[in-house]
C-alpha cells in the first residue's frame, strides 16, 4: 500500500522532476471510462455509506493523531523530497513581489517549503503542521539545505488546521477589517498591545499582514472530507486580497485510490490507510465547489495525468493529480 508521506513519488522511468510536473500522458476521461466499466472497481463508485453493516462500524480515530504517530515513526526524514517542480507549476512564486509571504499548510518535512524558500531570497515562509516532530525535522532539514539562506525566513508553527483558526499574528482581524481604511483610521493601534507576540514581529507590528501565497500540497486530502470547507475558510482568512492559493493533491481514479480495499473506505472517495491516516481523491468539480464556497476565484484547474514505470517490477502506473490555482478577490 502507498505510504502516507506524500506518496506522490514512485520510481519512474522518466526524469523525476519531469514526471511530477503537470503532464498529460493520457486522457483522464479514458481512465474514467476504463475504471467505471471494470466490475472489480465498482465498490469505489458506490454511494457511501454502502450496504447495511458498514454503518455500524466505529468512526476512525482522528486523522491528525494518526499523522502525529506517522511522523514519530518516520523521524529520519526519509519522506523529504524537494518539490522543485512546484516552481514550474506555479511560476508566480518566482515572479512574486519583494518580500512575499507564503503559508505552507501541512508542511511535513518541508518538501514544499524548501522550494518556496528557494523561489526568492526575499520570500518568507510560515509553515504549519499538526505534528511537532515533523516541524522540528523540517527546521533541521531546511537549515541544513545548501544554497538557501533561511535566516528569519522560515517560521514553523504547530496547528491542526482541520480544527483551529490561524493565529492572529498571521493576519489579525483589525488589519483585515481596516483594508481600505485611511491612514488616520490606522493610527488607532490599540490592538498592537497583543500578548504572545512571536519574536519575529518588529516594533509595533501587530501581524505580518496576510499571505501573498498559500500552498496546499498533498495536505487537504489528509483531513476528513467533512472538515474541508471550514479548514479552507480558515486558510482563506489569512490570504491577502489578490493573493493566490496554490493547490496540488490526489486526483480521482489515481492508481493509489484503486488499490484501497473495500474495508478501507470511510466515505465517498475517502479512504483510511492501515496506519490511520486519511486520503481523499478529488474530482475537479469537488475542488471547484470547495474553493468557490470559500470565496475564491478559479484561475487554473486541471488533472495532471502521468504514466510512470516502476523500475523494480516494470509495472506501469497511471497517476492522477489535481493542479489548481485560486485567487482571493480584491474587493
Query: Nearest residue to ligand SAM, using CB?
Result: 106
Quick note: the x/- pattern for ligand SAM over 87-106, rule CB under 6 A, is: -------------------x
Nearer CB in complex with ligand SAM: 70/303? 70
Using CB under 6 A as the binding rule, whether residue 270 contacts ligand SAM is answered as no
Q: How far is the CB of 184 from ligand SAM (least distance, A)?
A: 39
Q: Which listed residue (12, 119, 124, 134) binds ligand SAM by CB under 6 A?
A: 134
Using CB under 6 A as the binding rule, whether residue 217 contacts ligand SAM is answered as yes
Nearer CB in complex with ligand SAM: 12/64? 64
Write out the chain in H/E/C secondary structure. CCCCCCCCCCCCCCCHHHHHCCCECCCHHHHHHHHHHCHHHHHHHCCCCCCCCHHHCCCCCCHHHHHHHHHHHCCCCCCCCCCCCHHHHCHHHCCCCCCCEEEEECCCCCHHHHHHHHHCCCCEEEEEECCHHHHHHHHHHHHCCCCCCCCCCEEEEECCCCCCCCCCCCCCHHHHHCCCCCHHHHCCCHHHHCCCCCCCCCCCCCCCCCEEEEEEECCHHHCCHHHHHHHHHHHHHCEEEEEEEEEEEEECCCHHHHCCCHHHEEECCEEECCCCCEEECECHHHHHHHHHHCCCEEEEEEEEEEEEECCCCCCEEEEEEEEEEEECCCC
Q: Which listed residue (28, 31, 64, 287) binds ligand SAM by CB under 6 A?
A: 64
Q: Which listed residue (223, 238, 257, 296) binds ligand SAM by CB under 6 A?
A: 223
Here the cell at position 46 is 458506490
Using CB under 6 A as the binding rule, whether residue 127 contacts ligand SAM is answered as no
Using CB under 6 A as the binding rule, whether residue 150 contacts ligand SAM is answered as no
Nearer CB in complex with ligand SAM: 106/243? 106
Using CB under 6 A as the binding rule, whether residue 162 contacts ligand SAM is answered as yes
Using CB under 6 A as the binding rule, whether residue 111 contacts ligand SAM is answered as yes
Using CB under 6 A as the binding rule, whether residue 308 contacts ligand SAM is answered as no
Using CB under 6 A as the binding rule, whether residue 318 contacts ligand SAM is answered as no
Using CB under 6 A as the binding rule, whether residue 254 contacts ligand SAM is answered as no
**Residues binding ligand SAM (CB under 6 A):** 5-6, 63-64, 67, 83, 106-108, 111-112, 128-131, 134, 160-162, 217-219, 222-223
Amino acid at each position: 500500500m502507498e505510504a502516507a508521506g506524500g506518496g506522490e513519488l514512485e520510481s519512474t522511468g522518466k526524469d523525476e522532476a519531469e514526471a511530477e510536473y503537470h503532464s498529460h500522458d493520457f486522457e483522464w476521461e479514458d481512465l474514467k471510462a476504463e475504471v467505471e466499466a471494470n466490475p472489480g472497481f465498482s465498490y469505489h463508485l458506490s454511494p457511501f455509506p454502502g450496504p447495511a453493516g458498514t454503518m455500524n462500524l466505529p468512526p476512525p480515530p482522528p486523522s491528525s493523531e494518526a499523522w502525529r504517530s506517522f511522523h514519530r515513526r518516520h523521524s529520519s526524514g526519509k519522506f523529504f523530497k524537494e518539490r522543485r517542480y512546484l516552481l514550474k507549476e506555479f511560476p508566480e512564486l518566482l515572479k512574486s513581489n519583494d518580500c512575499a509571504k507564503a503559508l505552507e499548510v501541512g508542511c511535513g518535512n518541508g518538501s514544499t517549503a524548501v522550494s518556496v524558500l528557494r523561489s526568492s531570497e526575499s520570500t518568507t515562509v510560515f509553515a504549519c503542521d499538526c505534528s511537532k516532530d515533523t516541524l522540528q525535522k523540517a527546521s533541521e532539514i531546511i537549515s541544513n539545505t545548501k544554497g538557501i539562506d533561511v535566516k528569519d525566513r522560515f517560521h514553523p508553527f504547530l496547528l491542526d488546521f482541520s480544527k483551529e483558526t490561524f493565529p492572529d499574528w498571521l493576519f489579525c482581524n483589525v488589519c483585515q477589517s481596516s483594508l481600505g481604511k485611511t491612514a488616520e483610521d490606522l493610527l488607532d493601534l490599540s490592538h498592537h498591545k497583543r500578548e504572545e507576540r512571536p519574536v519575529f514581529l518588529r516594533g509595533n507590528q501587530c501581524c505580518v499582514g496576510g499571505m501573498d501565497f498559500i500552498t496546499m500540497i498533498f495536505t487537504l486530502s489528509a483531513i476528513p472530507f467533512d472538515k474541508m470547507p471550514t479548514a479552507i475558510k480558515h486558510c482563506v482568512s489569512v490570504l491577502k486580497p489578490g493573493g493566490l492559493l496554490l493547490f496540488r493533491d490526489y486526483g480521482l481514479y489515481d492508481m493509489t485510490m484503486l488499490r484501497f480495499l473495500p474495508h478501507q473506505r470511510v466515505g465517498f472517495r475517502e479512504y483510511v490507510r492501515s496506519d490511520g491516516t486519511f486520503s481523499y481523491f478529488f474530482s475537479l468539480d469537488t475542488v471547484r465547489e470547495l474553493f468557490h464556497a470559500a470565496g475564491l476565484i478559479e484561475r487554473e484547474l486541471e488533472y495532471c495525468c502521468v504514466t510512470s514505470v516502476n523500475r523494480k517490477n516494470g509495472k506501469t502506473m497511471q497517476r492522477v493529480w489535481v493542479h489548481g490555482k485560486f485567487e482571493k478577490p480584491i474587493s
